[in-house]
Homo-oligomer: A and B are copies of this chain.
Amino acid sequence: MKTRVEILCVGTELLSGKVNTHISYFSLVLKSIGLNIAREVTLPDDPVEIQQAVRSSMERSDILILSGGLGPTFDDLTREGVAGAVNRKLKLRAHLLKKIKDKFSRYQLPVSVNNKRQAAIIQGAKSLENLSGSAPGQLLVLERRNRLPLSLILLPGPFKELQPMLEKEVIPFLQKTYCRFLCRKTLVLHLAGIMESQVDDKLRPLLTRLSPGLECTILAGPACVDLYVTATSRHPSWGQGALDKIRRTLHGLFGNFIYGEGGDTLSSVVGDLLRRRRQTLAVAESCTGGLLSSRITSIPGSSEYFIGSIVAYSNSLKQKGLGVFKSTLNVYGAVSKECAREMADGVRKKMGATFGLAVTGVAGPSGGTPQKPVGLVYIALSGPRIEHLEKFVFPGDRANIQNRSTVYALNMLRLALALQKS
């Protein structure tokens, strides 16, 4: 039987424009002990909404984590909502009240009625110490016949109060109670140069015969696809073995489309390959307008292999800065394979780099013609005994076309480096 976890985030501000980053944090911390979040619910500071949502979550779940609404103000109503849902009273705990009073007297502040409310704990619950704020957390465990116990966990909203409470008290408790024997490992593979639907088609036969304990998800970004494979088992060695085996299968299936694992990005992989070979890169950009350089230089230490780039929007800069022939621009135009090739050669020579990588195209929305539509992009790579040139017609808007051009340019360089004898 799978342990079901639900998260309830309380706070009107989370439904009025504030971005909720807690869910992402919760999911990572829970994954570390093999638990997945089955559902997340965000609620306003409304005790009826809270009570109703807690009741319905309790029916479905084994672990219910609430965050927010434990503060001292009138709209902090999580305590009341949960107490109502479990039909229990709130009790003022003397030692907690004393702590709050002590804290306030240290700063010579009066203790209001509202501050006192923070010492109210649901009957039968354990209080969780708050190391950097005044509201304690609460942990209520309800035993159930023939089932895992139900845990209700109330945490404060501010991250710096919630984090130590969760990691020091709650996670060890959950691990002991629910995950004694369960071990989980994840493999993330990154692909480029292939579409989501193509990945899906190739993957489907494999998915139907996946071992129990293995789970596979496709995550598509713009021009990139990630594969997540998770192995859950009582035997740590099984999980690692299963992932090693499926990694080999996936490499057989997708070959060179796979560019990295885990925290790898196209820029970091290209950077590692260049650094290892002590080779350098120079870039010439037109329609990507600096985005390609920006991706490359987002990597710490990129100055080791990246010499620089020229973003040449004007034709005169293409001539003067990159050495594109005037006749090329006149006869073929700036968006042509001839121009792309001369840009790559030119920037390589000018900067004395091992490789020159160039992009020219029509990013739109204006500037397209029937012969050269918006989305037409040429990418050229020039290097020692290497010359690559590819033509693309990318879909989407300006940002999309610029982004795809960047991904495909980096991928062209990666493939060339991977095939090159080092």
Contacts and interface: CB of A to CB of B under 8 A. Distances in A.
A420 interface: no
A274 to B, nearest CB: 13
Chain A, interface residues (CB within 8 Å), range: 35 or more
A327 B294 CA distance: 28
Question: How many chain copies?
Answer: 2
A39 B28 contact: no
A318 to B, nearest CB: 9
A313 B307 contact: yes
Nearest to A45: B217
Contacts of A220: 71, 73
A360 interface: no
A92 interface: no
A18 interface: yes
A386 interface: no
A23 B42 contact: yes
A309 B311 contact: yes
A370 to B, nearest CB: 13
B366 A301 contact: yes
A290 B297 contact: yes
Contact of A298 (B31, B289, B297, B364): B289
A322 to B, nearest CB: 10
Interface string A228-250: 10000000000000000000000
A135 to B, nearest CB: 11
A396 B134 CA distance: 11
B311 A311 contact: yes
Interface in A380-407: 393, 395-400, 402
Listed residue (A31, A71, A217) with the most chain B CB atoms within 10 angstroms of its CB: A217
A312 B73 CA distance: 39
Interface string A298-340: 1011110011111111101100010000000000000000000
A272 interface: no
A36 B14 CA distance: 11
A308 B317 contact: yes
Interface string A117-130: 00000000000000
A105 to B, nearest CB: 12
Given A41-B41, A366-B301, A75 B314 contact: no
A303 B313 contact: yes
Main SS class of interface, A:
mixed
A365 interface: yes
Contacts of A75: 217-218
A53 interface: yes
B40 A15 contact: yes
A87 interface: no
A197 B114 contact: yes
A1 interface: no
Contacts of A103: 395
A290 B314 contact: no
Given A17-B24, A38-B49, A200-B73, A307 B297 contact: no
Contacts of A44: 36, 38-39
Contacts of A197: 72-73, 112, 114-115
23 contacts: A13-B217, A13-B219, A15-B39, A16-B36, A16-B228, A17-B28, A17-B217, A20-B23, A41-B42, A56-B56, A74-B207, A106-B393, A132-B396, A132-B397, A289-B296, A290-B290, A290-B295, A290-B296, A293-B293, A301-B366, A308-B314, A310-B311, A321-B321
